[in-house]
Structure 1
């Protein structure tokens, strides 16, 4: 499978290509392999060549965008150019466009009727949420679909028109299932080394995703039925859990803040924060999650020299919180090459207290976001009764 997003506005960054993510996700849900995503501007020659290249290497191509009424909507013209077809008009649909425009006043401009055009011999695809017809055609044994670029129109046409045709035409597994294992405490490179041999498998496959200081491992399997896909995932998941014992904090939709909230609630503890380096970022994240028993937070100026321990002890008293986190000001690590920032962090609970040092490469903003992510996980471990990450 290949996806081609059409529109110069996408190349200029004026519009975010959310359609690529949406269609890619739908293809994955159906078990189809999407190997390429391409963006091309509103140029007939380049668009035609892009489609030609896609058909040389892919069994099916989905184009999104470029089927509207204006001169720069060239997707259908490119399909005619490539396949040697003439453009024809769906007159009943043209009448609907005329009636639609008349209902809001005035005759339709000639250009509006272009949305009723389609390459001769192709199937015009109805557009339940808009006026422009989509296209489904076969060329040299390959399938080509053209759908609107407007997301609400595209989504319905993909689900109602494109996916059923793909399922009927292409012999692909009926399901693709994934499990995401979420970790904290090791970097991506280290985890890649630990799991290197597992990466060589194709079904299930594994991939690495980064979110601030967290590393996520996605296991994906394709099969004819859901239970078969889950059975393929299970032994790989078990092996990853064995190798990363003590570093896994959740699965799939779990978040570090959510897991922290669960453990706080289970112990009837509340949490408070005093922040310097993170400038209130952790407090705002905790306060935004209703599952976290958040007592309150204090933000101090960047020049405050209070130690992390003193910050934690002070805020625990101020908000009468069982758990308190103090995040002191960030300092340059003069001994580090390349240059790093050092953020002292302390956690106090009814069971003890401990200070951590977080080292972050990069500027102050990177130190802020990464220290905020780490603070959540250090607090999570402390609430779990574990004062350090790793086995045990």
Structure 2
């Protein structure tokens, strides 16, 4: 195991009893294929314990009962604490999910803003008195739901967590978080930062692991709301599980984002924007510009310009500031993307750029890289035009 870890990586997801069986999961640096550290998957018993602790903190702890102004001050203190650790968080998240450090830094520098924004909303009285007929007073009052479950993805683990967590905490909820089993490290680090900054015991718990852990959390009778970012099937399963007890669910799922290019724009200018849309985060984003519908008069020029831009992208170690494209999250995802490219070729697409694995230095040879790829002459009946590839493929 790589011992070059920052203190932020030493957070522990769960506290297990000595006789509890655990499966230990290796957390991989996708740029090199090396193990960063290991994390024990939570057992079902530990998921129940985490929910029970969060429920107790909601029922009798200080957090939901704090005056709004005091809870707002706590959120501002959390924001300052996170900001003080941002450089270590940048490095840790880049090592864990492979996103280039320049992208990670731009994204995670916004995390404290979510806590400050929700602190501002909390400090502003937003309850309303509503007009009505007769001698009645109708008013709107905002109150916490209870224990909320937050399930986060591998591609933007800390930003998506902060967006939901800051809102849930501001309102007085307690929370159980399940990060992606591939990228739990910055979640564990963030919760440690919050605790050091004064977050009361039990208000936020983390459970680690895969599908079984997520299913138990979404189906747990004491979870009042689930917020999930992930694939379509995961969202459907969460909706069914929460519907059985009329719990609330907010799901941000996948897509196949189309971008339309008309002939009244310089195709070279369009290609610059298209390259960012298609290849940022190595295409591993639900809002990635994965397919382009181009007016015929500029089609050939656009394909040529986008292909040239894709070929010029600097692929490499994501911790280096000059790197523009990092690896995919896992060997499984890399192989899936390569299979989809092959399927596209078999169905008749033309590979205008990329299409394979880049030639990289020996220290990156075991990483999960795919070249920025442009597939031209696709039709809407083809697999590559219909399936979300979730890789650097336009």
* TM tier relative to shorter chain: under 0.3
TM score, norm. by length of structure 1: 0.23
The structure with the greater share of residues assigned to helix is: 2
The structure with the greater share of residues assigned to strand is: 1
